[in-house]
Amino acid sequence: MVSEGDRAPDFTVPLAGGNGYDDVSEFTLSEVMGDGPIVLAFVPGAFTSGCTEEMCTFGNELGSFEALDAAIYGISVDLPFAQNVWIAQEGFNIPMLSDWDHELIRMFDVVSENMYGSIESAQRSVFIINSDGVVTYRWVRENGNPKFDSFIDDIRERVKEAV
């Protein structure tokens, strides 16, 4: 399990950039470390209402995170091609990391075993990693979804503390 105060584990996964179905590249966490805080937002699945609302809210506030030199990445267990379609369909501009083999949800201990009663996915969760690679914030949903506008405001305040 990755907790606050831990060094974030390095990983390499496919990155869906959102500029077309086949806009897929490789993302390695250590390659972006040191450029500013990193927000990893795990969501259960593409095309679902709560996940779409969260990613769109992050997208609407992206400028305020960029002003803090923070980068935001969504993570789901969907294939990057599906993530690209989702990004285009919903119009948000948050790059998505594809955890199609479920390695990250296990590494970060955010496995939801029963999405729709039968599918393993990510628990809605957020991790903030500072420029030194240390996890400064860990949040995992326990009940219903938060009100995303105020939730994103709180995440932004936590990012300020991580700078």
Per-residue pLDDT, 27? 97
pLDDT digits (tens, 9 = 90+) for 24-80: 999 999 999 998 999 999 999 898 888 889 998 999 999 999 999 999 999 999 999
pLDDT at 163 over 90: no
pLDDT at 21 over 60: yes
pLDDT digits (tens, 9 = 90+) for 137-152: 999 988 777 888 899 9
The phi and psi torsions of 117 (rounded to 5 degrees) equal: 80, 0
Quick one: CA torsion of 95, 71, 130, 51, rounded to 10 degrees?
Answer: -50
pLDDT digits (tens, 9 = 90+) for 68-116: 999 999 999 999 999 999 999 999 999 999 999 999 999 999 998 875 5
| Cα distances (Å, whole numbers) of residue 133 to 2, 5, 33, 34, 38 | 12, 10, 6, 7, 9
Q: Domains in the chain, please, with CATH? A: 12-162 (3.40.30.10)
Mean pLDDT, the chain, whole residue set: 92
Per-residue pLDDT, 118? 64
Per-residue pLDDT, 119? 77
- Please, which residues have CB within 8 angstroms of residue 104's CB and are 6 or more apart in sequence? 11, 13, 42, 75, 97, 122
Q: Give the predicted TM-score (pTM) of the model.
A: 0.93
pLDDT at 9 over 90: yes
Other C-beta atoms within 10 Å of 153: how many?
A: 14
Separation between Cα atoms, residue 81 and residue 95, nearest integer Å: 12
Of all residues in the chain, the percent with pLDDT exceeding 90 is: 71
